[in-house]
Amino acid sequence: MRLKDKIAIVTGASRGIGRGIALVLAKEGAHIVVASRSTQKLDWAPGTIYSVAEEIRALGRKALPVPTDVTKEEDVQRMVEKTVAEFGQIDILVNNAGIVLNLKPMYEYSREEWESILAVDLTGTFLCCKYVIPEMIGRLYGKIINMGSIQGRQGLRGQSAYGTCKAAIHNLTLALAKDVSTYNINVNCVGPGAVKTYLMESVFKTAMDAELKETMMNSWFENCSLFGREVTDEDIGHMVAFLASDEARNINGQTIFVDGGQPLKGE
């Protein structure tokens, strides 16, 4: 177990990539703070912070579900306070919480839509770092893993706000790594390619037959990789676990893409 008894906060951990990361970290020995706004099941996406916490406990690890809206400073402060009260320390922060909009051109966004994405995907990452880092500084130890995206370097038609946030997070990772390196805190970023999650499926809502839609979506995700196979949330979890471990102690300020070679598809 590479992360035995480490304490990890994973935001956006109720489903999709966040759930996958939380479970991989737990399998590697970490105890997990499951942070998300999702306290109730949705019709289009199963999973809550409580169901994921149960999955983690079934793996023999401790889990603390904490309802958290990362856009609200008081929620983030409370999440950090509860983590320290329960576990006494914070070793790992995974800034995974994020939202997307249905595909549409930037000029059709309302200001409210634009700002809602920035609030979660970018400001939420800032707030979590702001309140977790002092705890890490006090122990001269910490691993921060931000969640970027292939869209942060490549762009996707109809997802300008999301791509803008992810590009900013890639740069935030560079700057923050410089800010905290003297405190033995590593800051890195993982950039997923096309991962088939409930969130991404919701972006591609159509009125077509459900079976046809599933076939087309499977083909799309598989064709995004040179290997002809989709990237999974577990793939992302394994990279996060590596960057959270001391095996990666000299990796800092990096964005590592887990995308199956997606940018090379056009070459």
pLDDT digits (tens, 9 = 90+) for 15-74: 899 999 999 999 999 999 999 997 766 655 678 999 999 999 999 999 999 999 999 999
Q: Which pLDDT band holds residue 207 (cuts at 50, 70, 90)?
A: very low
The mean pLDDT of 142-171, rounded to a whole number, is 88
Q: Look at domain 7-194+232-262 and name its CATH class.
A: alpha beta
**Active site (annotated) includes residue 109:** no
How far apart CA 7 and CA 201 sit, in angstroms, is: 31
- Range among 103-117, 134-148, 217-231 with highest mean pLDDT value: 134-148
Of residues 114, 153, 146, 101, the one with CA closest to residue 128: 146
Of residues 4, 55, 56, the one with CA closest to residue 32: 56
126: CB partners within 8 A, 6+ apart = 172
Which candidate in 141, 162, 183, 198 is catalytic?
162
How far apart CA 93 and CA 187 sit, in angstroms, is: 10
User: 7 and 26 in contact (C-beta within 8 Å)?
Assistant: no
Angle in degrees, CA 119, 121, 123, rounded to 5: 45
Out of 98-102, 173-177, 184-188, 206-210, least confident range = 206-210
